[in-house]
């Protein structure tokens, strides 16, 4: 069995699908100390994989949902974009244009991470 930190690293790096990690994550508490950090490069890499057709819109949504609200993952720097990716029905649907815009914005530190409608 993998440790909590190893499982979280697999999640933020998208080394395994959200479906593969979902059961393992259920065994760990949500409200523990920060063990890993989700940064701009992680999100950018996932969006590039989406644009390349390696992962689906649903997988990006599932990935973001598994991360959002976990205390053991520090995602403060990308909280806005993560919220949008995890909640497409109330924010913005993930499209190629939205993904490309996010990737561009993620290259610039301290830029707001919200696509225009």
Rounded CA-CA distance 28/31 in Å is 9
pLDDT tens per residue across span 36-85: 999 999 999 999 999 999 999 999 999 999 999 899 999 999 999 999 99
pLDDT tens per residue across span 18-31: 999 999 998 888 77
Q: Residues 70, 100: contact at Cβ < 8 Å?
A: no
- The domain locations on the chain are 4-106
B/e letters for 37-59, b = 16+ CB within 10 Å, e = fewer, are ebbbebbbbbbeebeeeebeeeb
Rounded CA-CA distance 31/60 in Å is 23
pLDDT of residue 92: 87
Residue 112, pLDDT > 90, answer no
Using only C-alpha atoms, what is the Rg of the chain? 14
SS3 (DSSP) at 74: strand
pTM: 0.89
């Amino acid at each position: 069995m993998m440790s909590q930190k190893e499982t979280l690293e697999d999640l933020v790096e998208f080394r395994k699908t959200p479906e593969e990690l979902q059961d393992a994550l259920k065994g760990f508490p949500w409200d523990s100390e920060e063990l890993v950090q989700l940064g701009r490069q992680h999100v950018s890499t996932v969006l590039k994989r989406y644009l390349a057709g390696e992962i689906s819109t649903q997988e990006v949504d599932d990935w973001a949902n598994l991360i959002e609200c976990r205390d053991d993952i520090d995602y403060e720097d990308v909280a806005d974009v993560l919220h949008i990716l995890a909640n497409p029905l109330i924010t913005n649907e993930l499209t190629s244009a939205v993904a490309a815009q996010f990737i561009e914005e993620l290259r610039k530190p301290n830029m707001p991470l919200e696509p225009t409608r």
